[in-house]
Amino acid sequence: MAKCKKHLLIGSTGFLGSEIAKDLCSRNQVVFGTYHRHHKKGFSLSGSVRMFQLDVRNRQGMERLVARIKPDYIYYLAAQSSVRLSWANPVETININLVGGINLLEIAKKLALRSKIIIFSSGTIYGETHNHKQKVFESDRLEPKDPYSISKAALDSFARIYAKNFKLNICVVRPCNIVGRNQSKTFSIANFAYQIKNISLGKQKPIIDVGNLSASRDYIDVRDAIQAISEVSGKGKPGEAYNIGRGKPVKIGHALKEIIELSKIEKIKVRKNEAFTSKDEILRMALASGKMKQLSGWEPRIPLRQTLNDMLR
Amino acid sequence: MAKCKKHLLIGSTGFLGSEIAKDLCSRNQVVFGTYHRHHKKGFSLSGSVRMFQLDVRNRQGMERLVARIKPDYIYYLAAQSSVRLSWANPVETININLVGGINLLEIAKKLALRSKIIIFSSGTIYGETHNHKQKVFESDRLEPKDPYSISKAALDSFARIYAKNFKLNICVVRPCNIVGRNQSKTFSIANFAYQIKNISLGKQKPIIDVGNLSASRDYIDVRDAIQAISEVSGKGKPGEAYNIGRGKPVKIGHALKEIIELSKIEKIKVRKNEAFTSKDEILRMALASGKMKQLSGWEPRIPLRQTLNDMLR
């Protein structure tokens, strides 16, 4: 990636946004970020990321910002990202994930942007299809099973038809379950790590509350994910969607067992908590990422065990 | 259908809504309708349809109405129904077609409604899939090509997951191109009929403006469509989607030629008008409706020629 390119991260204060920002800063890129309500203190990386408040449902505000910055790269990361919360508030999920994304696409069309635009979809959009195939390919059927995944499937379709019809340089990424340090404890593995740390500090009894342990997930380390996103921003073809995953599903219960083992704390009990489960979950998720490998040689490099170990530190 | 059931048509002043209302009234059903801005005069069918103003984006207003009427049947017909206009205003299309529909589903969940709910999706949601198959089945891949079709595909998915997760009695119908008298002239065949009538009255020169004539469409008469909808409201299984079509695609240009022939006006010229074409249209549409036949024996009965003839009267 050439030096001194301008990157705009729309929705930059989440897990992935923060990590992408750090990575871009470390490579001397010029980074702009937006936040909605919660601007994490200390996030501005000693002033390297210029932060703006933005509600993605406000198209005019977004247009002013894009027109002012003239970014070379735009990443649409703004999302209500919890499947569980999407059942509680589907309309808000549609407004942030889909309508906010359409606002960006409409701005790109109106201003005839030449920026590379990366739209963040999700491996969950294949939904029920995961249950019928060893691995799902980008060309497989989308059969989303929850409001979050429907919002992402719709945005994914919008991004591809806008790329095609208006000759915009848009790529879609469909990540599997990304795990790593600094992740919000609304996600299962991060939640396990958080509880284990509390147990080791004596803040919590040696009992871990868990949701459904029998489902399988396709986990990759956030550093591998960031590498993949960087490859797509450099080489991705307009209008194409790229799976980002390992394709080797791991049972949530297996990951829990492994992280407990790595913690070296003895006698941790596991307790099922219904509040941690979601409706009609995907039972088994595995993304074929041959298209990414073909694009750039990308493959995940960090084993899950190493990620889990890092998350305990 | 038993007598004196209560039917609520959300979005009742469009072509299909009006025709369903007339049919229900003729069968002595109790019919309630909503309209947004445009309440057609004379629509109330001598007082048989009780009309209420409602913006489907206003969930509270919709909830009050549903709670007050306690309908046995609810039809979600509210839509921005033009593919062309959906490119001009995708967010409004999402808000009316999708968010309005989610509002109804959320109300059904909250009030634990036992009403039969019919959600109007569209045969266009298969999009690109139409170009690769002789006929599309309900189980085929959804690959929408325009904002209207994405809004309908998302609502279709929402309706099915709500039926499954909350045990609601919801069916989805996916109609092909419905044609008939009283249809808005934003739709091609109705537009041809309108222009021909104007020519015969001397209000228009004998030149018909047309869009793309080479694409094929699956046309059925509105009376056949209403029969199918009535079968689904009676026998449709919760959570299921039903194609409503003939499965025999006809070129738009062929339908034009036929309606000109039926008009018996000589020397009508045809002129291509770019304003009548839409972006990235489906080239060939054909819905397999074996699932409807299996459900109730339903099949379309009225030949296209008869429909076209009736539209000229």
A→B contacts (Cβ < 8 Å), by residue, are 59, 87, 90-91, 94-95, 98-99, 102-103, 106, 141-147, 150-151, 153-154, 157-158, 161, 164-165, 279-280
From the list B22, B61, B27, B23, the residue with the least C-alpha distance to B44 is B22
Note the pLDDT of residue A90: 98
Q: Which residues of chain B have pLDDT under 50?
A: 42
Rounded CA-CA distance A163/B20 in Å is: 39
First-residue to last-residue Cα distance in chain B: 31
Q: Is-contact B212 B5, C-beta < 8 A?
A: no
ipTM score:
0.94
Query: What's the mean pLDDT in A151-179?
Result: 98
- CATH of the domain spanning A6-178+222-245+288-296, picked from 3.40.50.620, 3.30.750.24, 3.40.50.720, 3.40.30.10: 3.40.50.720
Beta-carbon separation of B94 and A91 below 8 A: no
At the fourth CATH level, which superfamily is domain B6-178+220-246+288-296?
Answer: NAD(P)-binding Rossmann-like Domain (3.40.50.720)
Q: What is the pLDDT of residues B147-171, one digit of tens each?
A: 999 999 999 999 999 999 999 999 9
**Cα angle at B167 between B165 and B173, to 5 degrees?**
90
Query: Which residue does chain B place closest to A279, by CA atoms?
Result: B165
How distant is the Cα of B63 from the closest Cα of chain A, in angstroms?
A: 15
Rounded CA-CA distance B55/A285 in Å is: 40
Note the pLDDT of residue B38: 67
| Helices within chain B (DSSP H only) | 15-26, 59-69, 83-88, 90-93, 100-110, 147-166, 188-200, 222-235, 252-263, 290-296, 304-312
Query: What's the mean pLDDT in A184-211?
Result: 92
| A287, β-bridge pairs | A136
Chain A residue numbers with beta carbons less than 8 Å from the beta carbon of B279 are 165
| Residue A54: strand, helix, or coil | coil
The whole-chain average pLDDT of chain B stands at 94
Query: What's the mean pLDDT in A128-157?
Result: 96
**Amino acid at the residue B148:** Y
At the fourth CATH level, which superfamily is domain B179-216+249-285+301-312?
Answer: UDP-galactose 4-epimerase, domain 1 (3.90.25.10)
Q: Is-contact B293 B226, C-beta < 8 A?
A: no
Kindly list the domain boundaries of chain A, sorted by start residue: 6-178+222-245+288-296, 180-216+249-285+302-312
Query: What's the mean pLDDT in A149-167?
Result: 98
Query: Which residue does chain B place closest to A93, by CA atoms?
Result: B99
Structure tokens belonging to residue B73: 């049947």
Note the pLDDT of residue A79: 96
Rounded CA-CA distance A32/A9 in Å is: 6
Would you place residue A95 in the very low, low, confident or very high pLDDT band (cuts 50, 70, 90)? very high
Q: Is-contact A117 A167, C-beta < 8 A?
A: no
Structure tokens belonging to residue B133: 């198959």
Q: Is-contact A95 A143, C-beta < 8 A?
A: no
Interface test with A, best of B87, B98, B149 (most A CBs within 10 A): B98
At the fourth CATH level, which superfamily is domain A180-216+249-285+302-312?
Answer: UDP-galactose 4-epimerase, domain 1 (3.90.25.10)
Would you place residue A234 in the very low, low, confident or very high pLDDT band (cuts 50, 70, 90)? very high
Rounded CA-CA distance A45/A59 in Å is: 27
| Length of chain B, in residues | 313
**Amino acid at the residue A286:** A
| B214, β-bridge pairs | none
Note the pLDDT of residue B39: 61
> Phi, psi (5° rounding) for residue B285?
-120, 130
From the list A301, A284, A305, A290, the residue with the least C-alpha distance to A134 is A284
The whole-chain average pLDDT of chain A stands at 94
Rounded CA-CA distance B192/B212 in Å is: 13
HSE-up (13 A, CA, CB side) for residue A9: 28
Note the pLDDT of residue B259: 96
Note the pLDDT of residue A295: 98
Note the pLDDT of residue B44: 56
Note the pLDDT of residue B280: 85
How far out from the chain centre does Cα A72 lie? Answer: 21
Buried b (16+ CB within 10 A) or exposed e, B101-135: bbbbbbbbbeeebebbbbbbbbbbbbbebbeeeeb
Note the pLDDT of residue B136: 98
Beta-carbon separation of B280 and A142 below 8 A: no
Is the predicted pLDDT of residue A46 greater than 60, yes or no? no
From the list B152, B32, B162, B55, the residue with the least C-alpha distance to B105 is B162
Considering all CA atoms of chain A, what is the largest pairwise distance in Å, rounded to the nearest integer? 60
DSSP state of A287: B
